[in-house]
Structures are given as structure tokens and as C-alpha cells.
Amino acid sequence: MAELLFWPVLLLYGEAAVGYFGEARSPGAAGRAATWGVRLGWLAQTALLGVQAAREDGFPWGTWAGSLNLFVWLVVGAYLIWGCRKPYRLLGLAVMPLAAVLLVVSRAGGGTGVGTRSHYSNLFLVLHVGLVLVAFAGFTLAAALSALYIWQERRLKRREATILRRPAPSLATLDRLAGRTVAFALPALTLGVAVGVARLVRNGERVDPLIVATFATWAVWAAYLVARARGFAGRRAAYLALAGFVLVIVVRLALPAAHFA
């Protein structure tokens, strides 16, 4: 069942990614189709996660591939909060291709099936993995908003004649939303990391590269928030958010094998 649900999710997310490319070229029907792709795909993925949860005796997303599956669901869910509104459709251009690719990676790692088991307790996994993934989904969304900011700012600087025919959210709105998203995500990461560190200390385990990279990610996003509080905003803040997102990708994709072993 879970396997069967994977394909509609991928198909719909893929359709949304292609639709948003079409929207960027010519606003209208492609954007509307993409929006429906996101909505239906997210519902299908919700069903997929539901099946996983029902079949598993415990927290089903404790593996790195499983957590990637949950991460994609959180990212797309967060995107859905604003993404279906017309001016924010182009945000999908940053979010949906990434979601589709990460979903494929999750499947390759066995994260979309059932039958995987973790040796960690459910409460620990829910708190640690859940909070960290919520935070990373928030950072991903903030990075997408920042990418859209940079794109929109470049259009204004280039004085593109099409700027009012293909409207995007204003620079002020994008900047504000990115800041708010990080302000929500950073406390979640802080809590998630604290739970992980507490367990690490109690069990006398060693610090691995992923933990170090996660601390670095925390530091970059904390610096982002502190800088914003001191008036740091606009294009430079957007670039800092993108740098933070590179670390999120490293933590999610490059280093997790040893940590989840």
C-alpha cells in the first residue's frame, strides 16, 4: 500500500515542479495546475505517512531515509500555508523540485516503505527527530523565501519591463516572512538538539560529524536572527539564509549515515 502511494505523490510533486516552471514563463493555467499538484500530492503523502504509521510498531521515520520522507512532507506542508496564494506561486519553483528530488532519495534509502525498525525509544524519536525536522522544514522555507527575494530584487535592479505582469510578493513581505519563519524554526531546532545532547551525555556516546554540522547550522541561523534584530535585512540577509540552507542540506543528505546507524 505504502509503495503504491509513493508514485502518485512523486507524480503530483513532479507535475507541480514542472507547472511552476511554466508559471514562471507564462502566468496562468500552469500555476493553477501546479497548485493542485501540490495540494493533492501532499494529501497523498499524508496518506502514505498514515499507512507507514499504522503498519509500524513505533515511530516509523527513525531512519535517515524515513526522516527525509517526513521532512519533505513538513516542507510541502509549510509551503502550502502561503504557496497556494497567487503572488507566492513562484515560491514553488524553489520548493517543489527540491521536494520531488528528496522524495526520490528517501525512496532509494527505503524511507517510503514499511518494516524498518529503530532501536531508539518512541518519545526520544518524536522529540528529537520531530523537532529537528520541523526546524529544518522551516529553514528550507525561509531559504526558498530568500531565494525568491533575491530573484525579485534582481528583477527590480534590472528594471524588467515584465515586473508587473508577473507579480511576486513584495521585497518587504518576503524579508518579513523569512525572518518570522526562522524565528519559529530556531527554537524548535534548539529543543530538538537539546533532547539529542541530553541522550548523548546520558549514554556516554561520541560526537559525530553530523552533530558538529548541526551545531554549525544552529549557529548560522542564530546569527541570522541576532543580525536581523540589529537591522540586518534585505539582500545580505537573504544570502545568509541561503548559506544556512546549504548546511541544512549537508546535515540532511551528506552526513546522516553514521548518525542513524
Partner 1 sequence: MMRLVLVGTSHHHAPVELRERVSLDPDQASALAERLGEAVCLSTCNRTELYVVADDLEDAERRAVDALTELEPEVEQALYRLRDQAAALHLFRVAAGLDSLVPGEGEILGQVRAAHESGTPGQLLDRVFRQALHAGRKVRAQTAIGESPSSVSAAAAALAEQVFGDLAGRSVVLVGAGKISEQAARNLLSRGARIAFVANRTADRGGELAERFGAEAIPLERIGEELAKADVVVSSTSAPGFVLDAPTVERARRGRQLLFIDLAVPRDLDPAIHELDGCYLYDIDDLEAIVAETLAGRRSEAARAEALVAVEAEKYHEWQASLDVVPAIASLRARAEEIRESELRKAEGLLGRLDDGERRAVESITAQIVNKLLHLPTVRMKQAAVSADGVIYADAVRHLFGLGEEDER
Provide, rounded to whole angstroms, the least separation between the CB of residue 169 and partner 1: 7
Nearer to partner 1, 58 or 87 (CB): 87
Nearer to partner 1, 91 or 98 (CB): 91
Nearer to partner 1, 152 or 181 (CB): 152
d(CA 30, CA 120): 44
Nearer to partner 1, 62 or 169 (CB): 169
d(CA 15, CA 22): 10
HEC sequence for 76-133 = HHHHHHHHCCHHHCCHHHHHHHHHHHHHHHHHHCCCCCCCCCCCCCHHHHHHHHHHHH
Joined together, the cell numbers standing for residue 215 give 551545531
Phi, psi dihedrals of residue 89, rounded to the nearest 5°: -55, -35
Nearer to partner 1, 168 or 210 (CB): 168
Provide, rounded to whole angstroms, the least separation between the CB of residue 171 and partner 1: 5
User: Are 117 and 55 within 8 A, CB to CB?
Assistant: no
Provide, rounded to whole angstroms, the least separation between the CB of residue 237 and partner 1: 11
Q: Which residues bind to partner 1, rule: CB under 8 A?
A: 27-28, 152, 156-157, 159, 161-165, 167-173, 231, 234-235
Provide, rounded to whole angstroms, the least separation between the CB of residue 253 and partner 1: 33
Provide, rounded to whole angstroms, the least separation between the CB of residue 242 and partner 1: 17
Q: Look up cell 527513525; give the residue.
A: 62
d(CA 156, CA 246): 26
